[in-house]
């Protein structure tokens, strides 16, 4: 059981997410791949931000020159107020600096607020090309239907960026999205790489809602045996939240170093789909209640027990904010005696 360790927005447990230092540190910590989120500017540049609303991850709210850009929009059914990448040119965004999204939980990362500018997709591709060893890319395309509706076609923009950087057909490339339409578009364009369909635990994909309204299929119905078989005809894998992957697993009763049964892994593998899961985080706030230690939500709980249990499901890749801890968990599972020696 050797899942890929995918650095979630870089080493986002240690540095502000999507910053150059977060990406470079993730590589140094042993990540097999880097996961960026892609959102566009008004002039079609793809920037690396978790969302197109950027007040939580940059200093845009402190910039008086951009005060008039604050607005309210509805994105995939969610009403948001703030500053949005599609209202800026790339040249304007170069003046902003990155910030830690969870400063109360990660004050050491927040100490680096303001140190670095935001980056474009091609900047990360350059970092990966310069890495001392092969490191993969798992690029998440955000809000494709919404951006199509405002004249920023994500399939076209992603394909162009991949082609310009010489990554077309590169074995290191995976593209994922919570919407199937843009994945199909990229496949039709011949962008290459692996295509992974992200699924929430509940709700429906934005492109399905745009087409079918209230009768749109839910993500849950897209995990039936028949639906998984249909997905396998088009895509290479699915990516599900930890709660879906670990449904029915008692996090305390997993001391045996053998396999941990995950229904979704077994059924997806049976039809030829790889399975990925998100997101491993060691802080008490993100762990199952029985694995929390002490009363500080920012303190690390019994992450080893949780991480190794996830690895033992046979999942093909794990997204982690702290790549080194996920690498350690993988090593512990490879050596069951070490799991017990470590107290896992």
- 72 found inside a domain: no
Burial of 130 per CB tally in 10 Å (0-12, 13-18, 19+): exposed
- 198 found inside a domain: yes
- 104 found inside a domain: no
Q: Residue 200 maps to which CATH number?
A: 3.20.20.190
- 129 found inside a domain: yes
- 112 found inside a domain: no
Per-residue model confidence (pLDDT) at position 227: 98
- 336 found inside a domain: yes
- 77 found inside a domain: no
- Three-state secondary structure of the chain: CCCEEEEECCCCCCCCCCCHHHHHHHHHCCCCEEECEEEECCCCCEEECCCCECCCCECHHHCHHHHHHCEEEEECCEEEEECEHHHCCHHHHCCCEECCCCCCCCHHHHCCCCCCECCEHHHHHHHHHCCCCCCEEEEEECCHHHHHHCCCCHHHHHHHHHHHCCCCCCCCEEEEECCHHHHHHHHHHCCCCEEEEECCCCCECHHHHHHHHHHCCECCHHHCHHHHHHHHCCCCEEEEEHHHHCCCCCCCCCCCCCCCCCHHHHHHHHCCCEEEEEEECCEHHHCCHHHCCCCCCCCECCHHHHHHHHHCCCCCEEEECCHHHHHHHHHHHHCHHHHHHCCC
Per-residue model confidence (pLDDT) at position 1: 56
pLDDT tens digit string along 32-77?
A: 999 999 999 999 999 999 999 999 999 999 999 999 999 999 999 9
Per-residue model confidence (pLDDT) at position 256: 67
pLDDT tens digit string along 106-162?
A: 999 999 999 999 999 999 999 999 999 999 999 999 999 999 999 999 999 999 999
Domains in the chain, number: 1
Residue of higher predicted confidence among 258 and 173: 173
Is residue 339 scored above 60 in pLDDT? Answer: no
pTM for the full predicted model:
0.96
Per-residue model confidence (pLDDT) at position 255: 66
- 248 found inside a domain: yes
* Average pLDDT for 152-177: 98
| Domain boundaries, position 163 | 4-52+122-341
Per-residue model confidence (pLDDT) at position 342: 46
Q: In the predicted model, what is the mean pLDDT of the chain? A: 96
pLDDT tens digit string along 235-262?
A: 999 999 999 999 999 888 766 678 999 9
Per-residue model confidence (pLDDT) at position 254: 67
Per-residue model confidence (pLDDT) at position 343: 45
């Amino acid at each position: 059981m050797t899942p890929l360790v995918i650095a979630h927005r870089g080493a986002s447990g240690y540095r502000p997410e999507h910053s150059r230092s977060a990406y470079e540190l993730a590589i140094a910590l042993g990540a097999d791949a880097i996961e960026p989120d892609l959102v566009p500017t008004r002039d079609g540049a793809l920037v690396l931000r978790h969302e197109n609303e950027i007040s939580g991850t940059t200093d845009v709210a402190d910039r008086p020159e951009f005060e008039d850009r604050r607005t309210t929009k509805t994105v995939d059914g969610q009403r948001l107020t703030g500053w949005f990448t599609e209202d800026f040119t790339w040249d304007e965004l170069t003046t902003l600096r990155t910030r830690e999204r969870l400063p109360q939980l990660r004050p050491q990362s927040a100490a680096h607020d303001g140190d670095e500018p935001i980056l474009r997709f091609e900047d990360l591709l350059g970092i990966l090309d310069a890495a001392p060893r092969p490191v993969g890319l798992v690029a998440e395309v955000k809000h494709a239907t919404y951006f199509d509706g405002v004249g920023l076609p994500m399939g076209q923009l992603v394909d162009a960026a991949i082609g310009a950087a010489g990554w077309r057909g590169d074995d290191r490339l995976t593209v994922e999205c919570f919407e199937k339409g843009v994945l199909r578009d990229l496949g039709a364009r011949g962008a290459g790489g692996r295509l992974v369909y992200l699924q929430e635990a509940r709700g429906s994909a934005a492109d399905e809602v745009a087409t079918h309204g209230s009768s749109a299929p839910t993500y849950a119905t897209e995990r039936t045996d028949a639906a998984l078989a249909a997905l396998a005809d088009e895509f290479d894998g699915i990516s599900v939240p930890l709660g879906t992957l670990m449904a029915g697993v008692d996090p305390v009763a997993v001391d045996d170093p053998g396999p941990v049964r995950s229904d979704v892994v077994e059924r997806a593998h049976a039809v030829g789909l790889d399975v990925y899961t998100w997101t491993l985080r060691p802080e008490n706030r993100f762990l199952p209640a029985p694995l929390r230690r002490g009363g500080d939500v920012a303190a690390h709980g019994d992450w080893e027990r949780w991480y190794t249990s996830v690895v033992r499901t046979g999942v093909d890749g794990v997204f982690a904010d702290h790549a080194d801890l996920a690498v350690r968990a993988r090593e512990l599972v490879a050596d069951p005696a070490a799991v017990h020696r470590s107290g896992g």
